[in-house]
Amino acid sequence: MPKWSSPLNHLAYANDNIIFSSDKKLSLHMLMNMLVEYEKQSSQKINKAKSFFYVSHKIDDTISQQIKVITSFNKGRFSFTYLGCPIGHARKRKSHFSYLISKIKTISPPKCIIHDLDKLFARYFWGDNEGCRHKHWISWTKMSFPKEEGSLGFRSLLDVSKALFAML
Across residues 28-34, what is the average pLDDT?
94
Strands, E, within 7-135: which ranges? 52-53, 74-75, 80-82, 85-87
Q: Where are the domains of the chain?
A: 10-87, 94-167
Across residues 116-120, what is the average pLDDT?
83
The CB-based long-range contact list for 154-160 (8 Å cut-off, 24+ gap) reads: 154/121, 157/114, 157/117, 157/118, 157/121, 158/111, 158/114
Computed over every residue of the chain, the mean pLDDT equals 79
Across residues 93-110, what is the average pLDDT?
74
Phi-psi region of 136 (alpha: psi -120 to 50; beta: other; left: phi over 0): beta
pLDDT tens-place string over residues 57-85: 888 999 999 999 999 999 998 877 777 77
pTM exceeds cut of 0.75: no
Q: Are 107 and 116 in contact (CB under 8 A)?
A: no
DSSP designation for 10: G
